[in-house]
Amino acid sequence: MKIIKNTIIQGKHNKPILVDIFYKETNLPKQIVVFCHGYKGFKDWGAWNIMAETFAEAGFFFIKFNFSHNGGTANNPIDFSDLEAFGNNNYTKELDDLETVIDWFSNNLDIKKELNLEAISLIGHSRGGGIVLLKTNEDARIKKVITLAGVCDFEKRTATIGDLQQWKKDGVKHVLNGRTKQQMPHFYQFYEDFIKNKERFNIKKATENIEIPHLIIHGDADTSVLIEEAENLHKWNLKSEYQIIENANHVFNTSHPWKEKKASKELESTIKLCVDFLK
């Protein structure tokens, strides 16, 4: 298996996007899968590398990346050494980053023989689920989409970071990262960007418009994004497939760091559903 990690590509927002690719070198075109991490996430979190290898073994060309403003850096792609960048992240930047990644591999002559550009699928976890639904709605290159513990509404998350007047006055709000104990900043620009692009960021509208195959996977023990959000996504696109993973939490019973050689049985079930759906 060929694994190339931490390739740096330049996005539109003056921060690098770090990309990993996993595939079996056959010089034959493969279905492409692009994975988007969630809020307070990163491409090397937990068992995502095991997931990437499993997809590559199954014959896919698998791509995962760090959003440019996720808080990681080129030198330290794991965790959040650049909290200034994290505070300046927003949904516009994440949609632009995803588009940059798709443009990058679509025009990459080194790997062209390995790619079937007519078969691009997106997978998004948590907040990344919302991002992939929005991008699917506006980019005809996407042929299938999967949400894992995906969110259904950005608006309620954007405004509940705190009292708006105080947030505007201070210019920043902080959210505790329970794992790293860092106070993660959200600069007020996050709210301003949301209000300016509110129509574009409407996940309900995007989901109702989706005409390609759409798979929704959610754990019934998820306390971070409640299963009602998956039910909403399915209700808004009745042609979608909806699968519940029993006893699975928000990260399908994995954690960071993940020391095991295999994924959890809940994540293994999730990956199998994804592979079967994409094939």
CA–CA gap between residue 27 and residue 213 (Å, rounded)? 27
CA–CA gap between residue 15 and residue 73 (Å, rounded)? 8
Please report the pLDDT score of residue 158 as a whole number: 85
Q: Does some domain include residue 201?
A: no
Q: Does some domain include residue 46?
A: yes
**Helix/strand/coil for 204:** helix
Q: Does some domain include residue 82?
A: yes
**Residue 100's CATH number:** 3.40.50.1820
Q: Does some domain include residue 251?
A: yes
Report which of 23, 29, 27, 25 is spatially closest to residue 61, judged by C-alpha positions: 23
Q: Does some domain include residue 9?
A: yes
Task: Provide the residue range defining the domain that includes 41.
Answer: 2-152+206-278
Strand order in the sheet with 142-148: 2-10, 16-23, 61-66, 30-36, 115-125, 142-148, 214-219, 241-245
Q: Answer for the pair 188, 168: CB distance below 8 angstroms, yes or no.
A: yes
Query: For every one of its 279 residues, what pLDDT tens digit does the chain have, with 9 covering 90 and above?
Result: 999 999 999 999 999 999 999 999 999 999 999 999 999 999 999 999 999 999 999 999 999 999 999 999 999 999 999 999 999 999 999 999 999 999 999 999 999 999 999 999 999 999 999 999 999 999 999 999 999 999 999 998 887 666 899 999 999 999 999 999 999 999 999 999 999 999 999 999 999 999 999 999 999 999 999 999 999 999 999 999 999 999 999 999 999 999 999 999 999 999 999 999 999
Count CB atoms within 10 A of the CB of residue 270.
26
Please report the pLDDT score of residue 179 as a whole number: 95
Q: Does some domain include residue 158?
A: no
Please report the pLDDT score of residue 161 as a whole number: 62
Please tell me the total count of domains within the chain: 1
Please report the pLDDT score of residue 163 as a whole number: 84
Count CB atoms within 10 A of the CB of residue 4.
12
Q: Does some domain include residue 176?
A: no
Q: Does some domain include residue 19?
A: yes
**Main-chain dihedrals φ then ψ at residue 184, nearest 5 degrees:** -90, 120
Please report the pLDDT score of residue 184 as a whole number: 97
